[in-house]
Amino acid sequence: MSKPSLSRFSRRNFLHGASAAAVAFAALPRRGWGAEEKKLNVYNWDTYIGETTLTTFTDTTGIAVQYDLFANNEELFAKLKAGNPGYDVIFPSDSYVADMISLNMLMPIDHGKIPNLKNIDPDPNFSNPAFNPGLKFGVPYMWGTIGVGYRKSKVETPTSWGDLLDSDKYSQRIALLADARSVMGIALKYLGYSMNTTNQDELDKVRDLLVKQKPHIKTFAPDSGQDLLLSGEVDIVMEWNGDIISTMEEDADLAYVVPKEGTQVWTDNICIPVGAPHPENAHAFLNHIHDPEVNAEIANTIKYATANKAAKAFLPTEDLANPAIYPPSEVVSNSESLVSVGDFTPMYDRAWTEILAA
């Protein structure tokens, strides 16, 4: 899975749009009374599902799945903003769930139709998250962190974000994410502030810090930090954990760590957008995903941390013990999730533009 901030593959969007339109067109006329037709339109991130998830779903329920991909939250949001083109199930991240709830873009889910909800981790981060109280508008899927990916032979184990944000130790060997809120959020954490601050002074300090650090930064990588690390272009990057873990399998010299100041913790969710043509089938799909064995197969394939506690019984112990996948609780308690900052958003954008233009 990847979470770039810019939708670079916009040519692909056309195909998605076209297929979604075709799906919607095909779905509408046959919607009548009684049971739903045996179809489901799923819209998910790339490489973010198990190898057998969809086939086992179709085998147990008889519902055929039409599966489409998006590249980032912005793309998902933009696709649904003007009206649902026919999707039944979507996978937005935390702050986007909050925004979509406020904009009436999500359907409340019927907990009675999802008995497997009992398998979800009772930790309030998953069972009652701030962005989706009481899991009213969706269920958690996978979660993870932003951390430091580095080349062990070239870099001492980083303990602080300062190695990337406030030091010339690795000058011109550093890449940061190209995601404005994430980079500034982590710089805010480094300076000891909240990553969701609406205080202009704190934001100004972050801007000054990053402007000062810029000569030592090679690039703001639009979700290619892991490739830069793998190809030797840089030796230390800020990246999503799953991206680094997948490259660690290719190159044993790479490692992932979350610095002591804490980081951004994100949770992706499975929701049903308003206007979904097959809400019954969508509930069945949510229930299927949270079946412990199905869920474990997904987590085992994509190497992200699952929010399903019962599934952990079916996961390899080395994955559960891997701090890059399941960070220790002190790291999590030290961290924050991004939330929408509402009217303050243009200030973040402005600070980011000032950083890039400096």
Partner 1 sequence: MQDWRRDKRAFGVLILPPSAWLVLFFTLPLAIVWVYSFGERGPLGQTLLALSFDNYGRAVEWINLSIILKSVWIAAVTTAICLVLGFPLAMGIAFAPARYKNLLLLLVILPFWTNLLIRTYAWIAVLRTKGYLNFALEWVHERIGAVLSLLGLPDLLGPFEPLLLLYNQPAVIIGLVYVNLPFLVLPVYATLEKLDKSYLEASLDLGAGQWRTLFSVTAPLAFPGIFTGLLLVFILALGTFLTPDLLGGPRSIMIGNLIAQQFGPARDWPFGSALSFLLMYATFVFLWIKAAVARQGGGVSY
Chosen residue from 106, 186, 217, 272 binding partner 1 by CB under 8 A: 217
CB of 202 to partner 1, least distance (A): 19
CB of 280 to partner 1, least distance (A): 29
Strands (E), the chain: 39-45, 64-70, 89-90, 139-151, 174-177, 217-221, 236-240, 254-257, 265-270, 305-306
Angstrom distance (rounded) from CA 224 to CA 313: 33
Question: Do 267 and 125 form a contact (C-beta atoms < 8 A)?
Answer: yes
**Within a 10 A sphere around the Cβ of 223, how many other Cβ atoms?**
21
171 binds partner 1 (CB under 8 A): no
Residue span 99-118 as binding mask against partner 1, x where in contact by CB under 8 A, dash where not = x--xx---------------
CB of 283 to partner 1, least distance (A): 27
Angstrom distance (rounded) from CA 88 to CA 280: 9
Strands (E), 196-339: 217-221, 236-240, 254-257, 265-270, 305-306
CB of 330 to partner 1, least distance (A): 30
**Interface with partner 1: number of residues (CB under 8 A):** 38
Residue placing its CB nearer to partner 1 in the complex, 38 or 350: 350
Write out the DSSP string of 67-126: EEEESSHHHHHHHHHT---S-SEE--BHHHHHHHHHTT-BPPP-GGG-GGGGGB--SHHH
Residue placing its CB nearer to partner 1 in the complex, 210 or 315: 210
5 binds partner 1 (CB under 8 A): yes
**Within a 10 A sphere around the Cβ of 334, how many other Cβ atoms?**
17
> Tokens 């404005």, residue?
180
Residue placing its CB nearer to partner 1 in the complex, 88 or 179: 179
Chosen residue from 151, 189, 218, 283 binding partner 1 by CB under 8 A: 218
CB of 172 to partner 1, least distance (A): 7
Residue 112 sits at φ, ψ, to 5 deg, of: -65, -25
User: In this chain, which stretch among 112-120, 137-145, 176-184, 244-252 interacts with partner 1, using CB under 8 A?
Assistant: 176-184
342 binds partner 1 (CB under 8 A): yes
Tokens of 129: 């998250």
Chosen residue from 45, 170, 190, 220 binding partner 1 by CB under 8 A: 220
Looking at this protein, which amino acid is placed at residue 44?
N
8 binds partner 1 (CB under 8 A): yes
Site for partner 1 in 228-257 (CB under 8 A): 231-233
346 binds partner 1 (CB under 8 A): yes
Residue span 288-327 as binding mask against partner 1, x where in contact by CB under 8 A, dash where not = ----------------------------------------
69 binds partner 1 (CB under 8 A): no
Q: What is the largest CA-CA distance in the chain?
A: 67
> Tokens 């639009």, residue?
222
179 binds partner 1 (CB under 8 A): yes
Angstrom distance (rounded) from CA 239 to CA 224: 9
214 binds partner 1 (CB under 8 A): yes
Helix, strand, or coil (residue 25) = helix
CB of 99 to partner 1, least distance (A): 5
204 binds partner 1 (CB under 8 A): no
Environment class of residue 221 by beta-carbon count within 10 Å: exposed (0-12), middle (13-18) or buried (19+)?
Answer: buried
Binding interface with partner 1 (CB under 8 A): 5-9, 11, 74, 77, 99, 102-103, 172, 179-181, 214, 217-220, 222, 231-233, 340, 342-343, 345-346, 348-350, 352-354, 356-358
